[in-house]
């Protein structure tokens, strides 16, 4: 390919595409000196720019997407009527054309304002009129010019111009720049095979720096703005610097493209090589009589499918996928996807069960050995085993007809929900249930799970897809009927990924989970034989439809006596073993454990108690390793010696807080168990305002407003000054303000605190109360009574005021708690005030002063400790 043909194919003004082979012959003849071959061709001599006198006005030919430089030959195609008219007039005259580039190459007919102001004077060297009416030109660039003013726009553009010569400075710098430009272009030509070597050789022979710039810029691909900048720059040195920058960037882009191409080619070559090697390996194995990898996989899966005892639907699906696997080459991407899918199908325990141990006495012994108390839960497990045993023994008597078998299915599973504060043994109870029944145990935590695919799995179309957590756990446990614990079900979350709680509706419904369909497997898996157990700290965040599918069993906090027994039988032996102590080395007295429970922990469960026992054991282990004497019996004094001063003295706190009017002790329920709650009220001169603080919710705010309205409506009966509310503001505060609090059960406590404030009567320090109030003073029932009373018992309260409708709930309390406390059921606020307030004869100041002294003494003792 010659230089002119390369020029014609790669850098042509696109008024219309010069695809005519005849035009190529014209270009070739212009370089090789051939004569015109036909009558419609005209040839004119090439002029040197030094012999050309620039006229004052020039016809302007707009160019689209092309910049013409001086000292270059450029082919142009003319197709628009006004441009053809311009060429006809120019050819009949001095053959000079002003070649100016349009700023926007998309414009069909650019106006004067759409053109650059600097262009190149072109001399028409050869003209060819095509049969389609277009004109093909070969134009020689002579010199630069600047447009001063457009003098006409019709029939074509014409403007007054002035010549713009270049500024040339001789020296080593310009020679070095010119050589650098030539070397860069030669390097680019080596990476582009379509650039002819003749062109590179002719450019290398050019010595004039200006001609070097224009020749290379004419052939080099670049942005239109960069090409125009090279034309407009006056200094030859700056032209060379600009061209060096463009060529350097182009060189880097080409090198990077070659690198990418080579890497892709090498990857393709590698794949082809591996393909041929595999084919050769297959041929060799066939000659040796050995099965190839694919045949071995297919045969292995066939055996596993037959031995898995799958349901008919699953067996059909597995055979279909196995047939697809056998027809695919091992190098195919789909091969690995199908192989992984089959591996999941054959590894699930479709018919692998563990036999239930239906010995009721054995189950009772296991449950009693592992956990103290929890009577309701143990009875529920024993009931489940007893029913299952009866059904097994009387199976023939309850046989269904064939028609019933098609409609109904046997529900063997059960869904229990253990609700209670942390540390009461919900999670560990699941392991004991599995051991009692002789089943395998598996647990997953749902805390923070927010993606539905975590439960139901991902579609196989996704890369890295896998089944959900349910089937993953079933596969790990390798049993069709395990005890499956879903921990922290109340801490599920949901967002744009989906709602995992809704996905659990099918899992935890005995009517639906016989055909649980995971998105990955797409076949039914029977979960009805699984015994699901869920745990939660509160039911408030569990959706109603999900809660309806579970049998809720509440676990309240432990009493002090129960904690002592749990510590002796479970916590202490474990901590002694974990800290390297022998059972005969250390023992705790009941008094020592009671000190830990009362003064170092404040919880419904026993986790903090176990940590404190562990802290004492670590102190003893340190002393033993240092050969120092230790106390073998840990009593109250030893506990203080090893752990320091007490952290909680709730009885002293209650006495100190209730020593002034306007403070009442209430009972609250939280997700971590029951708590005592102080309600404080003060009065100040003002305009009957009512302020409530303490991070309380809307329900508790409404209870406070109801209590205030009731107290104001009963001013006469309560002997309240009728002008008190007009002269005073009341501020109601619930301490521990950083903890959110809400609910209606503090209504009676708020009303009592307000009456105590206004009447200056103290609230009894040993009384705790709970209940919702109405505007007419009735006391309504509340929830969480057992946890609240256990918290009051831990705090040392002796008398509890509770709604009369909650009186039957007292039967759920341990017997030692019922005997150690007095319970007064109330119907109205009047009943509450009668039992909660100190008689009017008592002196608040005297009681307050005495309590203050005792508080200072207690503080001094704490400080000394």
DSSP-derived pairing of the beta strands 524-525 and 516-517:
antiparallel
Contacts of 225 (CB under 8 A, 6+ apart): none
Kindly write down the DSSP assignment for every residue of 576-594, as one continuous string: HHHTT--TTT-EE-HHHHH
How far apart (Å, rounded) are the C-alpha atoms in residues 682 and 784?
29
Q: Which two tokens stand for residue 95?
A: 């053959």
653, with CB counted inside 10 A (0-12, 13-18, 19+), is middle
Neighbours of 584 (CB within 10 A): 8
Q: Is 608 a catalytic residue?
A: no
Residue written as token pair 């106390």: 631
Residue written as token pair 């002819």: 196
Contacts of 738 (CB under 8 A, 6+ apart): 695
Task: Convert 470-509 into a string of H (helix), E (strand) and C (coil).
Answer: HHHHHHHHCCCCCEEEEECHHHCCCECCECHHHHHHHHCC
Query: What's the sign of the alpha-carbon dihedral 65, 70, 76, 81?
Result: positive
Binding site feature residues for ATP: 420-427
- Give the C-alpha distances (Å, rounded to integers) separating 168 from 211, 217, 240, 392: 12, 18, 11, 109
| Helices (runs of H) and strands (runs of E) counted in the chain | 32, 25
Task: Convert 619-675 into a string of H (helix), E (strand) and C (coil).
Answer: HHHHHHHCCCCCCCEECHHHHHHHHCCCCCCHHHHHHHHCCCCCEEEEEEEECCEEE
Q: Is 788 a catalytic residue?
A: yes
Asked if 477 and 354 count as a contact pair (C-beta separation under 8 A), the reply is: no
Neighbours of 472 (CB within 10 A): 19
How far apart (Å, rounded) are the C-alpha atoms in residues 389 and 464?
44
State the greatest distance between any 2 C-alpha atoms of the chain, in Å, as a whole number. Answer: 137
- Give the C-alpha distances (Å, rounded to integers) separating 251 from 193, 201, 219, 258, 738: 14, 19, 15, 10, 66
Asked if 275 and 255 count as a contact pair (C-beta separation under 8 A), the reply is: no
Residue written as token pair 């553009």: 157
Binding site feature residues: 420-427
- E strands of 23-91, at which residues? 41-43, 57-63, 73-78
Catalytic residue selected from 239, 440, 563, 788 = 788
Contacts of 371 (CB under 8 A, 6+ apart): 378, 425, 428, 429, 432
Catalytic residue selected from 745, 756, 853, 856 = 745
- Give the C-alpha distances (Å, rounded to integers) separating 707 from 444, 562, 662, 773: 46, 38, 14, 7
How far apart (Å, rounded) are the C-alpha atoms in residues 623 and 616?
11
How far apart (Å, rounded) are the C-alpha atoms in residues 613 and 593?
9
- E strands of 521-600, at which residues? 524-525, 531-536, 551-554, 587-588
Residues with active-site annotation: 745, 788
């Amino acid at each position: 390919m010659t230089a002119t043909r390369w020029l014609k194919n790669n850098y042509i003004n696109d008024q219309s595409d010069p695809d005519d082979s005849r035009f190529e012959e014209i270009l070739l003849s212009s370089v090789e000196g051939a004569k015109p071959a036909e009558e419609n061709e005209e040839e004119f001599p090439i002029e040197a720019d030094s012999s050309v006198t620039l006229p004052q006005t020039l016809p302007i030919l707009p160019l689209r997407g092309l910049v013409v430089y001086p000292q270059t030959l450029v082919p142009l195609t003319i197709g628009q009527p006004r441009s053809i008219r311009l060429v006809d007039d120019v050819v009949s005259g001095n053959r000079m054309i002003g070649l100016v580039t349009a700023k926007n190459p998309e414009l069909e007919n650019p106006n004067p304002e759409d053109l650059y102001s600097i262009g190149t004077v072109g001399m028409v060297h050869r003209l060819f009129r095509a049969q389609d009416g277009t004109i093909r030109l070969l134009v020689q660039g002579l010199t630069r010019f600047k447009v001063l003013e457009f003098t006409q726009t019709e029939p074509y553009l014409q403007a007054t111009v002035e010549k713009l010569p270049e500024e040339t400075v001789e020296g080593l710098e310009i020679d070095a720049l010119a050589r650098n430009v030539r070397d860069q272009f030669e390097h680019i030509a080596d990476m582009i095979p379509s650039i002819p070597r003749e062109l590179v050789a002719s450019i290398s022979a050019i010595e004039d720096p200006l001609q070097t710039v224009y020749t290379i810029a004419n052939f080099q691909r670049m942005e239109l703005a960069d090409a125009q900048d090279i034309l407009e720059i006056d200094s030859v040195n700056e032209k060379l610097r600009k061209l060096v920058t463009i060529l350097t960037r182009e060189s880097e882009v080409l090198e990077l493209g070659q690198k990418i191409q080579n890497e892709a080619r090498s990857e393709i070559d590698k794949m082809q090589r591996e393909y041929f090697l595999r084919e050769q390996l297959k041929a060799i194995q066939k000659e040796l009589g050995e099965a190839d990898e694919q045949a071995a996989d297919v045969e292995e899966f066939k055996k596993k499918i037959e031995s898995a005892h799958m349901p008919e639907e699953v067996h059909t699906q597995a055979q279909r996928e196995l047939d697809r696997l056998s027809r695919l080459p091992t190098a195919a991407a789909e091969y690995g996807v199908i192989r992984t899918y089959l591996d999941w199908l054959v590894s699930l325990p479709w018919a692998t069960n563990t036999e239930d141990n239906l010995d009721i006495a054995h189950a009772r012994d296991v449950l009693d050995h592992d956990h103290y108390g929890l009577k309701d839960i143990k009875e529920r497990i024993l009931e489940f085993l007893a029913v299952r045993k009866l059904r097994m023994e009387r199976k023939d008597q309850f046989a269904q007809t064939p028609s019933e078998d098609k409609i109904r299915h046997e529900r063997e599973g059960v869904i229990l929900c253990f609700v209670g504060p942390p540390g009461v043994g919900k999670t560990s109870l699941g392991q004991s249930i599995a051991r009692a029944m002789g089943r395998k145990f598996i647990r997953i935590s749902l805390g923070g799970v927010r993606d539905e695919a975590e439960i139901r799995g991902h579609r196989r179309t996704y890369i890295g897809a896998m089944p959900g957590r349910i089937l993953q756990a079933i596969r790990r446990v390798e049993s069709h009927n395990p005890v499956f614990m879903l921990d922290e079900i109340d801490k599920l979350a949901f967002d744009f990924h989906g709602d995992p709680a809704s996905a659990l509706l099918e899992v935890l419904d005995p009517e639906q989970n016989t055909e649980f369909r995971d998105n990955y497997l797409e076949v039914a898996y029977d979960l009805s034989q699984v015994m699901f157990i869920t745990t939660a700290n509160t039911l408030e965040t569990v959706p109603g439809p999900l809660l309806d599918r579970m049998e809720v069993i509440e676990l309240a906090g432990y009493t002090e006596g129960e904690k002592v027994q749990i510590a002796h039988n479970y916590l202490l032996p474990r901590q002694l073993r974990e800290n390297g102590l022998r059972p005969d080395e250390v023992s705790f007295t009941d008094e020592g454990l009671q000190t830990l429970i009362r003064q170092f922990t404040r919880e419904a469960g026993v986790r903090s108690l176990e940590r404190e026992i562990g802290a004492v054991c670590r102190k003893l282990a340190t002393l033993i390793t240092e050969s120092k004497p230790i106390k073998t019996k840990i009593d109250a004094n030893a506990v203080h010696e090893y752990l320091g001063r007490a952290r909680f003295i709730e009885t002293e706190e209650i006495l100190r807080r209730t020593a002034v009017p306007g403070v009442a002790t209430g009972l609250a329920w939280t997700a971590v168990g029951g708590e005592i709650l102080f309600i404080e009220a003060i009065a100040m001169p003002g305009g009957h305002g009512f302020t409530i603080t303490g991070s309380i919710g809307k329900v508790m705010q409404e209870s406070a407003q109801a209590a205030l309205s009731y107290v104001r409506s009963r001013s006469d009966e309560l002997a309240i000054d009728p002008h008190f509310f007009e002269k005073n503001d009341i501020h109601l505060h619930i301490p521990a303000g950083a903890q959110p609090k809400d609910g209606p059960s503090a209504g009676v406590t708020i009303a009592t605190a307000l009456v105590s404030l206004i009447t200056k009567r103290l609230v009894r320090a040993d009384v705790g109360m709970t209940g919702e109030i109405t505007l007419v003073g009735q006391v309504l029932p509340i929830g969480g009574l057992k946890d609240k009373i256990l918290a009051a018992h831990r705090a040392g309260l002796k008398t509890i005021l509770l709604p009369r409708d909650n009186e039957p709930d007292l039967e759920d309390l341990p017997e030692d708690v019922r005997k150690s406390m007095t319970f007064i059921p109330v119907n109205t606020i009047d009943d509450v005030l009668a039992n909660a307030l100190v008689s009017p004869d008592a002196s608040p100041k005297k009681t307050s002063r005495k309590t203050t002294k005792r508080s200072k003494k207690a503080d001094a003792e704490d400080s000394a400790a």
